[in-house]
Structure 1
Amino acid sequence: MPPVRPRHPWLIAGATTTLLALTPGTAFAWGAPGKSNGEKTETSGGQSGASIVSKVTYSGSTRGRGSGTQKVQPVGDWSPPACWYEPRSAQEFAQYVEGMYTDTVNTPGQHSYAKASVGMFRDEYKDGTYKNYNLGQKDKGNWWVSVRDEDRWMEPEAQACDRQPFWVENGATPPVENAVTPEVLAELAYNRIQLPTTKVTLTPAAATKVNLPTWAWLDQARFKEVSVSASLAVGGLTIQATTTAKPVSLKLDPGTTDAETYPGSGECTINADGSIGEPYATGKADQMPPCGLKYLRSSGDSTFKLQATVTWQISWTGSGGAGGDLPDGTFGDDQAVTVQEIQAVNR
């Protein structure tokens, strides 16, 4: 059975029960797991119970768009942020906390300790350290709150943004890591890039023969640059970033050691027109394919699992002329290849 996602994930991190209580030092996450967290092209920002989803919005080749696509996988140990901090206006923050307080207090069967804890949290921002959610300074700054990626909310990395909501004056830099910047937005967009499935065209197509060079290629119309843009606009702050993935090479793994690849490394680089490899044509029977493979034994009654993996070069641009590179990404597919013995007739 999958873990139960708490209705208010910001109440306590790593809880194993559905009865939650706000305790000092526990993580506050603004977004609710299972909600959109901004993965729609329109800004949500509305309430769902007492939870407000992320203000970051995405457009372009994002997750969930079309069939036959998959998310890019970073090369190496790097991964996009599992949590981050976003600004909220004083009015939005006040509405959120008041809604959360009312929802908790009025929930039938809610433990008195949970009600008291949420009341303490409310008092801190309404009548304690801050006065009435800083509504009197609403034009001078914003509240910053933590958000967890809805797909990674149970990971330890998602608990790292554990600072309670804090106030930042306009023009000041939030004193936390992963505060939303153009680069952080670019990294979040990276995690939403959708890449086309990597099914290479082979000649021969239906079945190849032992010791027969097999040509492989990818169509430039299908394997072209894809981009995702992420933006955030709240409280007078507007930032944006676009992350672009460009295909640069195709790696062929024949699925058996009894095979050779062309070139020998199995790495086929991209052509000037954006294609990878070259279609077989009449008259090329005596040529070696620029991208392909040759099987040295039959697959028998089974098939070999050919794995074709495309490497994508990732770069980004953002507000204020910012930009740079992010780790390369890959995405690959398996496809079955039948290899037959060449039949000879003895006379």
Structure 2
Amino acid sequence: MVGVVLSLTEGAVSMPASGSLAAIWDALFNSERSGLLGHEKIIVLELRLPRLLLAMLVGAILAQCGAVMQGLFRNPLADPGIIGVSSGAAVGAVLAIVLLPVAWQVWAVPSSAFVAGLLTTLLVYSLARSSAGTSVVMLLLAGVAVAAFAGAGIGFLSYFTDDTRLRELSVWQMGSLNGANHQQVLLALVAFVMLATWFQRRAGPLNAFLLGESEARHLGVPVERMKLELIVLAALGVGIAVACSGIIGFVGLVVPHLVRLSCGPDHRRLLPLSALTGAVLLMLSDLAARTLVSPAELPVGLLTALLGAPFFLILLLQQRKQWSLSGA
């Protein structure tokens, strides 16, 4: 709750907490209790509130998609950003931003991001898949290759775009919630409700996947259909998140792992708690991005990378230790 209030009140222009909350009450119930000036109400209702809601929804979506992919591949290193899904979705979004008129971009950007993210996910999965199962090493290597190719594609498009969009694309690639609006909040809300409901219904099969694919098959789980379904849904979530906020990495890696350490691997608890933790993490990261160098603003993706990159290295060291012990 403290983070919510600070997100509404802190920034380049400081606002009173009581007035900010009262402005939201006024907008909901058509009253006049806040006492804020007209431009102050615009700051709260049109800038900070949509940004707060979008940060929480994007964080929840990325965290849940990360938890699903980690359960699906049975490895804590599986993350939409690390295996290249976010980069692939970014290529689709950048294509729509650069090539299509602004009037078409409200729905064209998330649609392009979803299609590109889905194709990237299927490509990476097919490269890592063999008759012996899914190789985590191949998964990471394929993700690195796809991310490099996607980065080259984004750079190529940025080079040939006009100066007006170049600055926007540069900030967007680093992850930013600066352009949050009510349409994006509505899109992210619909996506989150749909994904959270569907993922929760698949908590049982995800728990079965933790035992291995053959064990899950013996338990009656339609393995191939379930994998395809969850991959498509995760790609949908990541595509919409990338379209709304740019590339925000490591949320899907860090959050599920932290929640798993505290509550265990049961996806019936892991999924909703990951959504809640992801929402809080990205909300606080965006608050820090707006206030650390105020009145300027840092891209929120830089802060999540500063948090997530060391965490990823720690996970890699743990995995190396496990491989060494198993080899011994």
What is the TM-score with the length of structure 1 in the denominator?
0.23
Of structures 1 and 2, the larger Rg is shown by: 1
Greater strand percent: which structure? 1
Which structure carries more relative contact order (alpha carbon 8 Å, separation 6+)?
2
What is the TM-score with the length of structure 2 in the denominator?
0.24
Greater helix percent: which structure? 2
